[in-house]
A and B are shown apart, each in its own frame.
Chain A
Amino acid sequence: MKIHVVFYGRLKQDVGAKTAEIDLAQDGLTVHDLAGLLEARYPVLRERLGGVAFAVNDTIVADDYCLRDGDEAALLPPVSGG
């Protein structure tokens, strides 16, 4: 399965990219699993993901949300609009 990952705010700077592609042989990946994969790929995220929300296809989802092939997962750090 393929997941398109988008980093927002300071995460973009931490990771050094706006987007990333996750390509896996197996299905059944949860958001929690995705977070683990991203931490392995970008160690800098380890200290960041605590305050990060995940949005999949424009809806904020819980850790146990099951991703599907082609999903877009956005990492949303603590917000500071206004």
Chain B
Amino acid sequence: MRMSRWILDTPLQLEPLLAETEDPASGALVIFYGTVRNENDGQPVHSMTYEAHATLAEKVLAEIEQEALERFGVRRCRIQHRIGTLQLGETSVLIVVRAAHRDAAYRASRYAIDAIKQRAPIWKEEHYISGESRYLDGVPLQQKDIE
């Protein structure tokens, strides 16, 4: 059982993050959900298993939140990633950004999901309807990304 601020093995929930990030000075709220899609490269997908180096992933996600605040001047940024086996349509990653104005909120949200894909020590294994499974090709981690 893993319950941290960033990595969870239970379904991700929007409401607690909205409550946590409540901010009267924000006029924009951008929410990004990454969900399990039903196919990849033409192969019908049945489910997906996510694995993380949890302590390192928590560190990286916290850094990305901080970078979003500093680079785009947004007022709130929270990221959660789920691990374990997810069914089609379930949420694997949830990003909540609040900013005074929409432009910064959209850009920070985009920055966060791109950075997660490049830098978070998380891996996905796709399970296909055919019964086969495969780890997806990924992005090599760089030492400087984490320091």
Given the interface contacts A55-B121, A58-B55, does A80 sit within 8 Å of B140 by beta carbon? no
Number of A residues, CB within 8 Å of B? 22
A8 with B92: CB separation less than 8 A: no
Asked if B52 is an interface residue, CB under 8 A from chain A, the answer is: yes
Contact (A10, B146) CB under 8 Å given A53-B141, A82-B34: no
Q: How many CB-defined contacts (below 8 Å) exist between A and B? A: 95
| Cross-chain contact of B122 among A52, A55, A80 (Cβ < 8 A) | A80
- Binary CB contact string for chain B from 47 to 59 against chain A (1 if under 8 A, 0 otherwise): 0001111011101
B93 interface residue, CB < 8 Å from A? Answer: yes
A9 contacts B135, C-beta separation under 8 Å? yes
- Contacts A74-B53, A79-B138, A82-B34 given: A9-B123 contact, CB under 8 Å? yes
Size class of B's contact patch? 35 or more
Q: Does A37 contact B (CB under 8 A)?
A: no
Q: A10 near B123 (CB under 8 angstroms)?
A: yes
Please give the distance in Å from B86's CB to the nearest CB on chain A.
12
Complex CA gap A74/B142 in Å reads 14
B119 within 8 A of A: yes
**A13-B135 contact given A60-B146, A79-B141, A82-B113, CB 8 Å threshold:** yes
Q: Which 9 A-B pairs have the closest CB atoms?
A: A81-B122, A78-B138, A9-B123, A80-B138, A10-B135, A53-B141, A51-B140, A60-B146, A82-B117
A interface residues with partner B (beta carbon < 8 Å): 6, 8-10, 13, 51-53, 55, 58-62, 74, 76-82
Q: Can you list 28 A-B pairs with a CB-CB distance of less than 8 A? A: A8-B51, A10-B125, A55-B121, A58-B56, A59-B147, A60-B147, A74-B56, A76-B56, A76-B121, A77-B123, A77-B135, A77-B138, A79-B118, A79-B121, A80-B124, A80-B135, A80-B138, A81-B50, A81-B57, A81-B81, A81-B92, A81-B93, A81-B116, A81-B121, A81-B122, A81-B123, A82-B34, A82-B120
